[in-house]
Structure 1
């Protein structure tokens, strides 16, 4: 496709979005200080078709930019620029620079330096680079907020997301090659880039239990909260509400659902609110279960899914594994499935909810999947899987297991793999 043809496609999708924004009285997308902090069209099943234009706009813009740069310089740019953007953003967030700028008006570099305790020269250079990323506005040495810096100031979950991505993710990413040289494989959560980067023999989840790592744990909680509540992948929402339509909950009758690694039961409660005939057992580790609130349809149970399922699971009609499997290598993911099949009755189903974009998904969506895959591999020895990966994993876990159905819900970044025993 020629540059002109690409530009025409971009214009077509931009006009589609602009028309909807204008017709519905929504604010125009802008990085101005008074602009909306999120894209004004909210991702949902109702707007999924419309937001395909948003995904296409992001996809085509990136393609046009890369073509304008040319293949050589597209590679060179990818090698150098992102990590120093990360360096600047980490400094902005870590030095709490947004808090040093008044929400209205402006602050000088010297005033920001005095407020943050960072030298004026460093503050100046960091902020000026941040403005090229559309974070802050600066004119003649006076710094003011724009929409992006306001988001960092006002959204604590975003700050936690940035903290985890850069204080942990950035560090492990730069040690991946060294980890492969040291360990050779990516099977064990104690033999990863995280272990090399942080000089520990503990897994990431063991490491953050340390008293001195409370801030890292807190940031991780916020990171996960941001992903669930505000995550957005090419216009596709991360909300768990897609699960309501991705499986025939009404069709299983008065059933028992075991929510494996279900945290505080938020997803089970979401489903229960629409299906009062369903009963749930939410399983997780003791410190998490201790924080759970009572619910009339939910029982909470202490269980480590890397050990065999307890007898209480033998009556389950559905085992729900939401965002569990990608944390684990094939070796340990097979163990999780095997522990279920040991007690699973012939008619029961396993629902695996993970990031499973189709092969023809836009590159912006597949890149998000690939980013998650790199992060999981470097941090946990985990893995984002495609259909052939799931088929191979099921066979390694239990030869009776089969994929019954793949479901991608419109507007959602995540899909559902429905698994059952063969010939049942």
Structure 2
């Protein structure tokens, strides 16, 4: 709940707006693999020129390499990632390519990394032996070696010299507690629920929220893991402040954060000292009417984890306190039609959609139409 609010009524993560340009091949066009190689070469050259002009290091797997390209390079990132993926997949045989996409074995080493906090054992900027990791985790050394060398095949950790383990830019993120929690939740909850659904795999008729509500450790893995979304472009909580020109119209917003009592416990400690009295936390049930009136009600990443029945129930709960001119802002992922965005992003979004279904029985809505009043109709 915010006082007061902007005029926009819906926001979509910026990542969805990088629309892919399509090229129609002429009858005399070169073989596809030659076209792709040329596109990759041209796009990579342009990308490096852009990075050099901005003083940004060229991407590498070095531990201290930047984890994200600048926004000005996103269109080139899209072009290169789609072209390299297509070239890679064209040159693979069908069954091995299907095996690559199935990726079930990947979760074995990822689960071990999260469960045993292996990234924390590897010193920043240094290296440690397989034997030392085995001693710290209580696993057999040959098991550690097998697990970590599999992870290394995915660029997670590296073996700079025989028998020694060091970080890459990927594995260093696993030292962040909330990234490790996200990794562990995916491995221990999401992986199991992927083909059967959370309730079935847990042999219960209760929802994920009811189950986790009785298990503090599992609930905290989910709660902490949500912060890992800050590393997905367009999903970071800090980016909400950039979606609207808040400062232009509203100089001193007052924020009331409503969530389950367990979710907001201790949250006051993270409020910056320069915002005294402007951020307040209140325990609140999602299907209950807000206790206070506000000018803006912001729902961020809420409806995608609920079915239509409950999404409507959440919205109806706001009616008793809505005053004239109040706005409801919804920031959820909106699915676009295949081909509207780069394929690598489309794959990511569709994976998120299936995960929302398997874990929460939710879904990401797609744009169906825009009515004469400019309002989105979702399916």
Whether the 8 Å contact between 1:14 and 1:53 is mirrored in structure 2 is: yes
Whether the 8 Å contact between 1:112 and 1:123 is mirrored in structure 2 is: yes
Whether the 8 Å contact between 1:59 and 1:364 is mirrored in structure 2 is: yes
- 1:413 alignment partner in structure 2: none
- 2:212 alignment partner in structure 1: 208
1:351 aligned onto 2:311: no
CA distance in 2, matches of 1:368, 1:336: 27
CA distance in 2, matches of 1:76, 1:375: 20
CA distance in 1, matches of 2:91, 2:49: 28
Whether the 8 Å contact between 1:93 and 1:163 is mirrored in structure 2 is: yes
- 1:158 alignment partner in structure 2: 179
- 2:193 pairs, out of 172, 197, 208, with 172
Indicate the RMSD between aligned Cα atoms, in angstroms: 3.1
CA distance in 2, matches of 1:85, 1:297: 45
1:59 aligned onto 2:76: no
Deviation at 1:99, TM superposition (A): 4.0
CA distance in 2, matches of 1:319, 1:123: 49
- 1:340 alignment partner in structure 2: 318
Deviation at 1:376, TM superposition (A): 1.1
1:14-413 mapped onto 2 (5 Å cutoff): 14-32=44-62, 34-36=63-65, 38-39=67-68, 41-42=69-70, 47=71, 49-79=72-102, 82-103=103-124, 106-138=127-159, 141-148=162-169, 150-152=171-173, 154-174=175-195, 176=196, 193-210=197-214, 213-228=215-230, 230-231=231-232, 236-244=233-241, 246-247=243-244, 249=246, 275-276=250-251, 278-289=253-264, 291-293=266-268, 295-298=276-279, 300-310=281-291, 312-313=292-293, 316-345=294-323, 347-359=325-337, 360-388=340-368, 404=374
CA pair 367-11 structure 1, distance change in 2 beyond 3 A: same
TM-score of the aligned structures, taking structure 2 as reference length: 0.78
Q: How many residues are paired up?
A: 340
**Greater relative contact order: 1 or 2 (C-alpha under 8 angstroms, separation 6 or more)?**
2
CA distance in 1, matches of 2:94, 2:207: 39
CA pair 377-108 structure 1, distance change in 2 beyond 3 A: same
> Deviation per CA, 1:115-156, whole angstroms, max 9, x where unpaired?
321112212211222221112323674122131465155333
